[in-house]
């Protein structure tokens, strides 16, 4: 339990630091960047739940982010209190997940991947067709707009999501989900309802991503309605999750930090090329570092263990063919 306590303390410490930060920082720039970081942590954990824990590739996450943003925005502008609007965003995302999850999760992985991608692409096109304009915030909300409030909201939500992911994947539910990732057939053979657990993971992930979308809608003052549906919102969380390390709680956090720092650095210098570079990075990570940044300590440890295993094998009692 020592390790757990240590992690908890580190986590609380960081949260506390971030909570007190606004007192010492003047100006909005840092708060804006940190908000973005928290947002990315949230949606990357969503992606992490799918690809890291459930072993499902949700390439169409943009559709869920988008619908969360859309519903939350419309609700909020229409007068609903923000927390209900955010909740509505999350829930609408869950409904969407059922629409594509139920048909495709009973089948092999590529159906799901293609299905979610189709959902995202068609979602973006359709929204672009039926809501081509800009979404504005009505005057009365503008006057009450507080960056600080949104900063704490984002901090709280991302901390909550991290805790939830950690707790869920150390629980029985999480174990069941993990078993469906590693060997679907074996899990089925011991009586696990693979479909149920995959759908649960999907719903959970979608809720988180939908919340992220709602957060986006609550934060940004004006944007084109189709922006939250853009494919980048599928791509960037995946990139972050893989670079950081899929299947770990810390992975998306590390990846998000890496990503936001690079993005900020690039927009001031390279501009357009930043996305191009991220594309290349994703390819390199997939090909050569599948475990991401979080796997590096593990890889170093393996180097120490390998020679010992080798010696044992040469003892001659191996099963050979």
Write down the least CB distance from residue 283 to other proteins, Å. Answer: 4
Minimum distance from CB of 21 to other proteins (Å)?
33
| Among 15, 21, 33, 57, interactor with other proteins by CB under 8 A | 57
Phi/psi zone of residue 43: left (φ > 0), alpha (ψ -120 to 50 degrees), beta? alpha
* DSSP assigned state of 145: -
User: Does residue number 104 form part of the binding site for other proteins (CB under 8 A)?
Assistant: yes
Stretch that binds other proteins, among 1-9, 137-145, 291-299, 307-315 (CB under 8 A): 307-315
- Stretch near other proteins under the rule CB under 8 A, chosen from 31-39, 82-90, 237-245, 292-300: 237-245
Residue 91 CA to residue 98 CA, distance in Å, equals: 11
Distance CA 252, CA 241 (A): 5
**Helix 82-104 / helix 194-219 crossing angle, nearest 10 deg:** 150
Token pair 């050569």 in the structure block, residue: 288
Whole-number Å distance between alpha carbons of 99 and 54: 18
Where in 183-212 is the site for other proteins (CB under 8 A)?
Answer: none
> Least distance from C-beta 211 to other proteins, angstroms?
24
Residue 234 C-beta: closest distance to other proteins, Å: 8
Contact 233, 62 (CB under 8 A): yes
Does position 167 interact with other proteins (CB under 8 A)? The reply is no
Choose one: 32-40, 106-114, 147-155, 219-227; the region binding other proteins (CB under 8 A): 106-114
Q: Smallest distance, Å, CB 85 to other proteins?
A: 26
Q: Are 112 and 60 in contact (CB under 8 A)?
A: no
Residues 73-102 binding other proteins (CB under 8 A) are: 99-100, 102
Minimum Å gap between C-beta 244 and other proteins is: 14
Of the candidate spans 141-149, 173-181, 216-224, 308-316, the one that interacts with other proteins by CB under 8 A turns out to be: 308-316
Which CB atom, from 147 or from 286, has the smaller least distance to other proteins?
286
Residue (11 or 111) nearer to other proteins, CB: 111
304 binds other proteins (CB under 8 A): no
Beta bridge partners of 135: 223
| CA pair distance 85, 304, nearest whole angstrom | 52
Position 269 contacts other proteins (CB under 8 A)? no
Runs of H (alpha helix) within the chain: 2-24, 29-47, 61-77, 82-104, 109-130, 139-143, 147-168, 172-182, 184-189, 194-219, 232-244, 250-269, 273-288, 296-314
Number of residues that bind other proteins (CB under 8 A): 53
Q: How many residues does the chain have?
A: 321
Among positions 272-301, residues that touch other proteins (CB under 8 A) are 272-273, 275-276, 278-283, 286-288
Q: At what angle do helices 29-47 and 194-219 cross, to 10 degrees?
A: 160
Q: If binding is defined by CB under 8 A, does position 113 make contact with other proteins?
A: yes
Interacting residues toward other proteins by CB under 8 A: 57, 59, 99-100, 102-104, 107, 109-111, 113-115, 117-119, 121-122, 125-126, 129-130, 231, 234-235, 238-239, 242, 272-273, 275-276, 278-283, 286-288, 306, 309-310, 313-314, 316-321
């Amino acid at each position: 339990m020592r390790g757990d306590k240590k992690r908890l303390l580190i986590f609380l410490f960081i949260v506390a630091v971030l909570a007190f930060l606004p007192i010492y920082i003047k100006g909005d720039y840092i708060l804006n960047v940190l908000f973005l970081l928290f947002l990315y942590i949230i949606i990357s954990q969503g992606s992490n739940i799918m690809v890291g824990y459930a072993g499902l590739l949700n390439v169409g996450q943009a559709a869920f982010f988008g619908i969360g943003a859309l519903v939350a925005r419309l609700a909020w502008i229409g007068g609903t209190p923000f927390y209900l609007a955010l909740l509505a965003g999350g829930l609408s995302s869950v409904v969407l997940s059922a629409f594509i999850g139920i048909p495709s999760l009973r089948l092999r992985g590529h159906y799901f991947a293609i299905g979610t991608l189709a959902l995202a692409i068609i979602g973006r096109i359709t929204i672009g067709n039926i809501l081509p304009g800009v979404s504005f915030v009505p005057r009365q909300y503008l006057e009450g707009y507080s960056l600080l409030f949104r900063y704490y909201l984002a901090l709280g939500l991302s901390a909550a999501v991290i805790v939830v992911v950690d707790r869920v994947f150390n629980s029985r539910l999480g174990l069941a989900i993990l078993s469906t990732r590693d060997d679907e057939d074996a899990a089925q053979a011991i009586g696990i309802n693979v479909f149920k657990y995959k759908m649960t993971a999907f719903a959970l992930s979608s809720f988180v991503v939908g919340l992220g979308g709602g957060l986006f809608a609550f934060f940004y003052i004006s944007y084109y309605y189709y922006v939250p549906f853009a494919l980048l919102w599928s791509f960037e969380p995946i990139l972050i999750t893989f670079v950081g390390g899929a299947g770990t709680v810390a992975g998306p956090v590390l990846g998000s930090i890496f990503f936001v720092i690079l993005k900020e650095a690039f927009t001031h210098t390279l501009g357009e090329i930043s996305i191009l570079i991220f594309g290349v990075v994703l390819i390199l990570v997939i090909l050569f570092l599948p475990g991401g940044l979080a796997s590096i300590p593990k890889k170093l440890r393996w180097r120490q263990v390998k020679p010992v295993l080798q010696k044992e094998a040469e003892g001659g009692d191996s099963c050979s063919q």
